[in-house]
């Protein structure tokens, strides 16, 4: 019966990990998969995470089931970070999920369960977005988001596309640190988006996977907070993978901002039911770490400091890259003002392969680079190789 199956393509980003590992050249550079790297090329465990793990090791006295909604103290503390006090918490339904990906899938399942059929996704977007939504049975439609040659956000075109969306359609928005473009939506533009979404009766699904890596922890959710203040109902998929460095611990949450406490209760029970029939319950460890950090002022302060160091390192590399590349490609000066880990270079796939084969510089065929993959000392050399 397995004959009925056909081989599926590998995820090109995850496949790069193996290709890079096999390359034995000493000067190789990994600009592929989106994980933070420090000056030595290492993806560190946050100091606060290590300390929280130590405390959990000493105090945790059971591994009994938690439940499909996961750790609700984690969920509550995480919301404070994301939403602050923008909304009445009794109108909020939040459930812990296996990473941001689990949150996106649960959101898609919920949209299907409430009769939604279509979701609008910016072009380009993180590859898994369309796959996750399609796997849940949603139809996907694209709105133009970013022009690579000019490195600009196509805001007007995006707004016209959203004007053409039908009531009840969902719209995926990146809260910030756009993957794969780094393209920034200004505060004023968020207000315009919120107005159109509310007027057309659309349901926004906001993907928040890089809080703290753009302009700062609070700054990175300003747009999102405007949106939830204006639009009556919103879904927010949060990933703790980058912001807490918990990638493999699969830590995240899905939040639904609703219009009443009874609506929130109903949404929560649907999310829990969908979790139960999919993976039953989320893994506990990562959420317990985040709960421990966010419940302790000293740990929280230390976590914020370390996150800020990471943000500043990325921002510094952005400035140097933009400076070095703008005399060859004027538009690439925009890299300095873009946010988060990624920028999308105007390279043809053949250029990407040449950089990989001749120079050991690894990036996916799209030309997306993980800025955090660069060490300060190698920026000049990579700039030279990009230019030739």
Catalytic residues: 126, 207, 209, 242
Cα–Cα distance, 342 to 76 (Å, whole number):
29
Q: Which partner, ligand TYF, ligand PLP, none, binds residue 369 by CB below 5 to 8 Å per kind?
A: none
To ligand TYF, the closest distance from the beta carbon of 177 in angstroms equals 11
Site for ligand TYF in 171-200 (CB under 6 A): 179
- For residue 131, count other CB atoms closer than 10 A to its CB: 12
The C-alpha angle with vertex 150 and arms to 185 and 171, in degrees rounded to 5, equals 35
Q: Which partner, ligand TYF, ligand PLP, none, binds residue 13 by CB below 5 to 8 Å per kind?
A: ligand TYF
Residue 201, SS3? coil
HEC profile of 150-193: CCEECHHHHHHHHHCCCCCCEEEEECCCCCCCCCCCCHHHHHHH
Cα–Cα distance, 66 to 279 (Å, whole number):
13
Question: E strands of the chain, at which residues?
Answer: 29-30, 92-97, 118-123, 139-144, 146-147, 152-153, 170-174, 203-208, 234-239, 252-257, 342-344, 361-362, 368-370
Q: Is 34 near ligand PLP (CB under 6 A)?
A: yes
| C-alpha distances out from residue 232 to 75, 109, 174, 200, 235, Å | 21, 20, 18, 12, 11
Residue 257, SS3? strand
Residue 64 phi, psi (nearest 5): -60, 160
**Member of 96, 101, 338, 343 binding ligand PLP (CB under 6 A):** 101
Q: Is 241 near ligand PLP (CB under 6 A)?
A: yes
The C-alpha angle with vertex 121 and arms to 119 and 124, in degrees rounded to 5, equals 160
Can you spell out the DSSP letters for 314-363? HHHHHHHHHHHHTTT-GGGGGGGT--SSEEE----HHHHHHHHHHH-EE-
Cα–Cα distance, 98 to 279 (Å, whole number):
9
Q: Judged by CB, which is closer to ligand TYF: 247, or 303?
A: 247
Site for ligand PLP in 312-371 (CB under 6 A): none
Q: Which partner, ligand PLP, ligand TYF, none, binds residue 33 by CB below 5 to 8 Å per kind?
A: ligand TYF
To ligand PLP, the closest distance from the beta carbon of 142 in angstroms equals 16
Residue span binding ligand PLP (CB under 6 A) among the ranges 38-46, 99-107, 222-230, 317-325: 99-107
Site for ligand PLP in 198-227 (CB under 6 A): 207, 209
Site for ligand PLP in 117-136 (CB under 6 A): 126
To ligand PLP, the closest distance from the beta carbon of 262 in angstroms equals 30
Site map 163..202 versus ligand PLP, x via CB under 6 A: ----------------x-----------------------
Asked if 211 contacts 252 with a C-beta cutoff of 8 angstroms, the reply is: no
Q: Is 14 near ligand TYF (CB under 6 A)?
A: yes
Q: Is 239 near ligand PLP (CB under 6 A)?
A: yes
54 alpha carbon, distance to own chain's centre: 28
To ligand TYF, the closest distance from the beta carbon of 168 in angstroms equals 29
Q: Is 99 near ligand PLP (CB under 6 A)?
A: yes
Which residue has its beta carbon closest to ligand TYF?
A: 34
Site for ligand TYF in 21-80 (CB under 6 A): 33-34
**Member of 70, 83, 100, 245 binding ligand PLP (CB under 6 A):** 100
Q: Is 32 near ligand PLP (CB under 6 A)?
A: no
Per-residue b or e along 37-53, where b marks 16 or more CB atoms closer than 10 Å to that residue's CB: beeeeeeeebebbebbe
Residue span binding ligand PLP (CB under 6 A) among the ranges 61-69, 147-155, 239-247, 366-374: 239-247
Site for ligand TYF in 287-346 (CB under 6 A): none
Residue span binding ligand TYF (CB under 6 A) among the ranges 10-18, 45-53, 145-153, 224-232: 10-18
**Contact positions toward ligand TYF, by CB under 6 A?**
11, 13-14, 33-34, 126, 128, 179
**Contact positions toward ligand PLP, by CB under 6 A?**
34, 99-101, 126, 179, 207, 209, 239, 241, 247, 252
């Amino acid at each position: 019966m397995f004959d009925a199956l056909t081989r599926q393509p590998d995820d090109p980003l995850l496949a790069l990990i193996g290709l890079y590992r096999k390359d034995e050249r000493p000067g190789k550079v990994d600009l592929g998969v989106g994980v933070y790297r420090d000056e030595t090329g290492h993806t560190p465990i946050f100091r606060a995470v290590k300390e929280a793990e130590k405390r959990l090791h000493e105090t945790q006295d059971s591994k009994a089931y938690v439940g499909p909604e996961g750790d609700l103290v984690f969920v509550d503390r995480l919301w404070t970070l994301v939403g602050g006090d923008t909304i009445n918490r009794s109108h909020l339904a939040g459930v812990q999920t296996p990473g941001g990906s689990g949150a996106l899938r649960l959101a898609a399942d919920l949209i299907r369960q409430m009769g939604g059929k279509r979701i609008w996704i910016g072009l380009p977007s993180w590859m898994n977005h369309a796959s996750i939504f399609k796997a849940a049975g949603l139809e996907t439609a694209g709105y133009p988001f970013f022009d690579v040659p000019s490195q600009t956000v196509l805001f007007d075109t995006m707004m016209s596309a959203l004007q053409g969306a039908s009531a009840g359609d969902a719209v995926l928005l990146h809260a910030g640190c756009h993957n794969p473009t780094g393209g920034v939506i200004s505060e004023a533009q968020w207000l315009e988006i919120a107005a159109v979404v509310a007027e057309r009766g659309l349901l926004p699904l906001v993907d928040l996977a890089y809080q703290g890596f753009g302009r700062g922890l609070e700054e990175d959710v300003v747009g999102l907070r405007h949106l939830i203040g204006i639009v009556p109902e919103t879904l927010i998929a949060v990933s703790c993978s980058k912001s807490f460095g918990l990638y493999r611990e699969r830590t995240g949450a899905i939040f639904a901002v609703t219009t009443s406490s009874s609506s929130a209760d109903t949404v929560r029970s649907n999310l829990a039911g969908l979790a139960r029939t999919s993976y039953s319950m989320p893994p506990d460890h990562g959420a317990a770490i985040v709960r421990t950090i966010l419940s302790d002022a000293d740990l929280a302060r230390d976590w914020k400091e370390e996150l800020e160091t990471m943000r500043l390192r990325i921002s510094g590399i952005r400035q140097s890259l933009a400076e070095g590349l703008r005399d060859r490609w004027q538009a690439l000066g925009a890299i300095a003002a873009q946010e988060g880990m990624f920028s999308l270079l105007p390279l043809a796939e053949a250029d990407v392969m040449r950089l990989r084969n001749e120079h050991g510089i690894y990036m996916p065929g799209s030309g997306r680079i993980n800025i955090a993959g660069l060490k300060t000392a190698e920026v000049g050399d990579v700039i030279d190789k990009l230019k030739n």
